Structure 1
Amino acid sequence: MSGPGPASAPAGLPDWISWRKQQGTIQVANDDKIGPPLTELDINTTTGGFYNGFSVAVTVPAKIIISVIVVWAIFWPIQSGAILNGLNSLILQNFAAWYIWVVAFFIVICLGLALWPAAARLNLGLEGEGPEFTRFSWFSMMFGAGIGVGMLTWAVAEPVTHFESNPETIMGLTTAGGADNVAMAFKWSFLHWGFSAWACYAICGLSLAYFSYRRGLPLTIRSGLTPLFGQRLAGPLGHVIDIVAVVATILGVARTLGFGVDQLVAGLTRIGFSGLIDADGGATTMGIIVALAVIMGLSTLSALSGVGRGIKWLSNLNMGLSIVLLGFLMIFGATWFGLNAMATGLWHYVINLPQMSVNVFRSDGIEGSQDFLLAQWQGWWPVFYWAWWIAFAPFVGLFLARISRGRTVREFVLGALIVPALMCFVWFSWAGGTAIDLELNGGANGVIFDAANGDKIFAMTEFMLAPVATWLSWSMAVLIVVLLLTFLVTSADSAVLIVNTINAAGDEGPKAQPHVLFWGVALAMVVAGLLISGGTTAIQTAMVIGALPFSAVMALMAVALVKAIFNDTRRERAGVPSTHDKIDGATPANPPSGLGTPAE
């Protein structure tokens, strides 16, 4: 801002406050010497040409990295698989504790912000601005993009798996496959899909919404670090952060789509398509190609229509279908068993959450020992999940920010942390509970337990309905396939839009079709390449590796967010504006010069 400065600025006070005080608009206390926040971050974008509106310094390197991963995985599958597995072992050995503790840190920050009165009432937008979407659409989009597709696979598969093995069974405290192990199966399932997962999303989404819609900064990952690095984020440091976010997003979504492809192929086989699975029950190359062609074709069409149309419509559809399927399981499944599983599992989860969130199992290096098995289990489950949620966080977080403008900090945190987690608890209790009850008491005799993870929900519904009428079983399989497709398409098209938003320096406007098509094809090729080179294990390994650098970025985002909110409460006391409209538009035509560097 330019113009004549105040005649005589009070000694020791920022020029902004000196001038405002002279106007008689504020009273400044000695402990509130603070200026306005940073509201501009000038990221260079290209004008004209193929990359019009994009940051070439982010877009091109991100495309190169993803292309190298695709070519490497497809043309050198054995070598890439071996190297990925080696890196995965190295990370699990040296960074397992980091993953456990950083996610616990995210939970603490989220709860603190929700309970902090001064922070909780702040608007993620301009003062008085209301939300764009209804709560139903907000929850639907949040749930569908955040966890939906993985939940369809694991709502049955994970409780069943933990019913057979978990830390309590390894330590001999409960019986594997016994009735005394039911609560533990759900306790660990709730840990992986509950508050910890959504804390990762909430930190990223809250940071982006706060700095983009309240401060007017670009809707991109680097904006969340402005309280720590300021204008330096407009240069190479910011470019690196956004590149890391794009790569993590692609790998995180690829992991989700990898699960989805396996399950979609299983579902298509159940409803009559042949030649898509091999003798071991895995997807054939043809099955992978068919599934990805369907998913990415539909998702690209949806992405081209934008958030307000295609994604919103699909999210509402999959929420409606989810309610139908869940209602079926609650009424015709193990109703009381599921209710009891939820109550006991939730009780054990809540009272043990602090301990489970920070406990790190240390291996003694003796293969087959209890310590070795516990550390191995933690690497397979919590560490993998925390890496998955962190890799998924730039995508889900930016998407949550996009659909949450105008909500308060408390509303965002509680809405993002609690409501979707409760939906997951309900799903796991009745879907997984029905599967366990059918095996324990319903005569399933391994039909469900022995099925592949992606096929377990189909095996369960077929066992329930086939004796009544074959067409009912087939119809339910069709419903699940459609529901799965809506979850997959919502995740994929949202990811394409988010990646292009980051590449375009936070510009939310429509993107040129070639860029939408490129990232749609790139995402499909990453999934196909890694599935071919090593199945879902290869995708899982690549995702754990890609999540590590972004976990450090997220930790800094959490610190920066707390710092920004604390300073905004100081500004509120001092009468200094903290939203970009009041800073940029509510001053006289010729405000004072020499305001200095905006403070955080």
Structure 2
Amino acid sequence: MTSSGADPKVAEQSSSGDHPIAPPLVELEIETHDKGFYDGFSREVTIPAKIIVSLIIMWAIFFPVNAMETLAVANSTIISAFSGWYVYLIAFLVISSAVLVLIPQIGSLRIGAPGEKPEFSRASWFSMLFGAGIGIGMLTFSTGEPLAHFANNPDIIRGTIEARSTEAVRPAYIYTFLHWGFGAWCTYALVGLGIGYVAHRRGLPLTIRSSLAPLFGERMSGLPGHAVDVVAVVATILGVAYTLAFGVEQFVAGLYRIGFGDWLMVAGSDGVLTASTGAIIIALVVLVGASTLSALSGVGRGIKWLSNINMALSFGLLGLFALLGSGLYGLQLMGTATWDYVVNLPVQSLTLFQDDGSEVAGALVDWQLGWTVMYWAWWIAFAPFVGMFIARISRGRTIREYVLGVALVPSLMCFIWMALVGGTAIDLELSGVAGGTIVDAPMADQLFATLALLLEPGTAAIVSGLVVVLLMTYLITSADSAILIVNTINGAGDNEGSRRYHILFWGTALAFVVGSMLILGGIEAIRITMIIGALPFSLVLAAMCASIIKAVVFDLIRQKHGVPTTAEACENWEAEAATPKDLART
């Protein structure tokens, strides 16, 4: 299988040697099987990815003690050793995104042919961006994260402010917005831009390896390209598994709240209620089973239908908190916290706590590993999935419009959710109404605990039921989309060929990864596995950032010298081109 575009001979062409730079690579061959079980798939990508994910599952199921011991060692050594890499990489991605926007010539380049109109209206595009990578996190962390930092953050650890006090609110939101703001969305934006720019402008396959073609050229057709796509698939599965784990726990907590049975939750050794093994298994069978059926039904009848439900229920829930919750307090928090976030962003993005042997320094390092480093790894692992989706829907937009839209709009939506929903929970705690019942509840139950205090019992039960439905649709949509994206990567960017059995495999694999890790060691086990799994893709991500910068800079040089920069223009260029040997294709 090859992408559409000009003849490969163009790779060596420049018009009679009169131009100092060659046209871009507009064809990248990726071999796919043409019959049988792997029809339409790259076996060099699909089989290794399946083997790696299967080994992770079997390790957790058949060697649980060894798995937990290994994860514990990894948590204290490997993750700590690479914490600085994660912190500085995300800062680099944010700075790179700003550079792409601020340089006028780069910002005006189009993700597609010059003058090409966007495929979707701006309203539809923003709506789809909202659904990409936000849903489950908003429901779990809109109360969970502000409350967690309200009870413990670096300022509290240093002893400069008191936990759960009015003074703890502002730093709580600085860190909440840090984790859900530009760091996350600039990561997604650069992955999507790296893929979309070369796919829509140069005609390369819509897959992860294509984004590195500006750096490595046709070498991405072979083993290096296969390795990149395998790493992307494994990172996607682990990143989505971590997201689903939070959603499953909250889904079970919601069912427990609305009276589906005491068996759904069990008390741990610390007395905190957590989802029972039986509840986890049943929830995964229902949710991943439904997502697999949705994936089998196709994008039109599956993801689109669920996304519309998600949007309506999400804004309905947000409106409820704005009207019946602490809406005014939330808006005040929104303004103050956004200002604090922007002012403190440079320092917060580059801060790396060091352990000097003191108790306070050790606590600060542990806090950063448990929150900031975890988030950066999560967003990196989630980036192939979200980036591929954003690349698909962003054809025809300029780089400036694209980066600003992807970085700003979802960030602001996250901030609004955190301020209104989390602000209501904090206000109930500060006023004494909650009396610790929200902040001391497990994170999966904090949204339901807030609703129970905010509304009459009957109304709270109804709204909690709607939240459970919303969780279910978000979980199904996320798993559904992840399965389809993984198949797209395995299929060298195409959606053709045999897909049904591969959809069943990846749906089952997701369920087993989430279930085995949750039962083995809870969220912590999946967190550690995900952070380690994100590490190889973080190297790919750094290369992607360098690659897209090289691609746009070289295209500006090509424009200056009258050299084509798109697949269509290269086809016309071929007829007049000569073949000097001293020009390398980029």
TM-score, normalised via structure 1 length? 0.92
Deviations 1:92-115 (A, max 9, x none): 321111110000000001111111
Check whether the contact 1:4–1:591 (CA below 8 A) recurs between aligned residues. no
Which residues in structure 2 correspond to 1:282-321 (within 5 Å)?
Answer: 282-321=274-313
2:39 is equivalent to residue 52 of structure 1? yes
Amino acid corresponding to residue 380 of structure 1 in structure 2:
G
CA contact (8 A) 1:137 1:315 kept: no
CA deviation profile, 1:181-214 (whole Å, cap 9, x unmatched): 1111111100001110111111111100011111
Match of 1:220 in 2: 207
Shift in alpha-carbon separation, 1:576–1:306, aligned structure 2, 3 A: farther
Q: Does 1:379 align with 2:369?
A: yes
Instruction: Write the distance in 1 (CA, Å) between the matches of 2:552 and 2:498.
Output: 32
Q: Which of 468, 482, 497 is equivalent to 2:484?
A: 497
Match of 1:399 among 381, 389, 392: 389
User: Which of 329, 343, 346 is the aligned partner of 1:351?
Assistant: 343
In structure 2, the CA distance between the partners of 1:305 and 1:577, relative to structure 1 (3 Å rule), is farther
* Distance (whole Å) between structure 2 residues aligned to residue 217 and residue 205 of structure 1: 14
Superposed CA deviations along residues 438-462 of structure 1, whole A, max 9, x for unmatched, are 1111511122112110110011101
Structure 1 residues 262-341: aligned runs within 5 Å: 262-274=249-261, 275-280=263-268, 281-341=273-333
Work out which of the residue numbers 76, 79, 102 in structure 2 matches 1:89. Answer: 76
Partners of 2:150 and 2:163 within 8 A in 1:
yes
Specify the SS of the correspondent of 1:506: coil
Amino acid aligned to 1:157: G
More off after superposition, 453-462 vs 142-151: 142-151
In structure 2, distance between residues paired with 1:489 and 1:569? 42
1:207 aligns with 2:194: yes
Measured in 2, the distance between the counterparts of 1:588 and 1:357 equals 47
Match of 1:463 among 453, 472, 475: 453
Please point out which of 416, 423, 428 is paired with 1:433: 423
Secondary structure at the residue paired with 1:50?
helix
Q: Does 1:155 align with 2:158?
A: no
Counterpart selection for 2:64 from 77, 87, 97: 77
Deviation at 1:433, TM superposition (A): 0.6
Root-mean-square deviation (CA, aligned residues, Å) is 2.0
Give the partner amino acid of 2:233: V
Matched, 1:189 2:176: yes
Task: Give the distance between the partners of 2:575 and 2:339, measured in 1 at CA.
Answer: 60
Asked if structure 1 preserves the Cα contact closer than 8 Å seen for 2:79 and 2:532, the reply is no
> What is the deviation of 1:70?
0.7
3-state DSSP of counterpart to 2:529: helix
Deviates more, 1:328-337 or 1:277-286: 277-286
Aligned-pair CA distance for 1:225: 1.1
Paired position in structure 2 for 1:9 = none
Are the aligned partners of 1:137 and 1:316 in contact in 2 as well (CA < 8 Å)?
Answer: no
Note closer, same or farther for the CA distance 1:211–1:444 as it changes in structure 2 (3 Å cut): same
Unaligned runs of 5+ in 2: 1-5
In the alignment, the residues of structure 2 paired with residue 295 and residue 111 of structure 1 have an alpha-carbon distance, to the nearest angstrom, of 39
1:241 corresponds to: 228
Matched residue of 1:38: which SS? coil
Partner of 2:151: 164
Query: What is the deviation of 1:2?
Result: 8.0
SS at match of 1:35: coil
Q: In the alignment, is residue 18 of structure 1 matched against residue 16 of structure 2?
A: yes
Give the CA deviation at 1:265: 0.3
- What's the % identity of the aligned pairs? 52
Structure 2 residue identity aligned to 1:489 = I
What is the distance in 1 between the residues matched to 2:408 and 2:286?
Answer: 33
Report SS of the residue matched to 1:175.
coil
Q: Tell me how many residue pairs correspond in the alignment.
A: 575
1:146 counterpart SS class: coil
Contact 2:110 2:398 in 1 (8 A): yes
Residues 508-543 of structure 1 deviation map (CA, whole Å, 9 limit, x = unaligned): 447521111111111111111111111111100100
CA drift at 1:173: 2.3
Q: Classify 1:316/1:2 alpha carbon distance in 2 versus 1 (closer, same or farther; 3 Å).
A: closer
* Cα distance in structure 2, aligned partners of 1:509 and 1:412: 28
Summarize deviations over 1:469-528 as a string: whole Å, max 9, x none.
Answer: x32111101111111122211211111011111111111447521111111111111111
Report the Cα distance in structure 2 between the residues aligned to 1:88 and 1:242, rounded to whole angstroms.
26
Cα 1:510–1:476, aligned 2, differ >3 Å: closer, same or farther?
Answer: farther
Task: Pick from 516, 520, 525 the counterpart of residue 507 of structure 2.
Answer: 520
- Structure 1 counterpart SS, 2:77: helix
Residue from 400, 408, 429 that aligns with 1:418:
408
Which of 548, 573, 583 is matched with 1:561 structurally?
A: 548
Deviations 1:285-310 (A, max 9, x none): 11111211221122122222333442
Q: Structure 1: 5+ residue runs without aligned partners?
A: 6-13, 22-27
Whole-Å separation in 2 of the counterparts to 1:134 and 1:524: 36
For residues 31-86 of structure 1, what are the alpha-carbon distances to aligned partners after superposition, in whole Å with 9 as ceiling and x for unaligned? xx111001111111111111011110110000000011111111221211110121
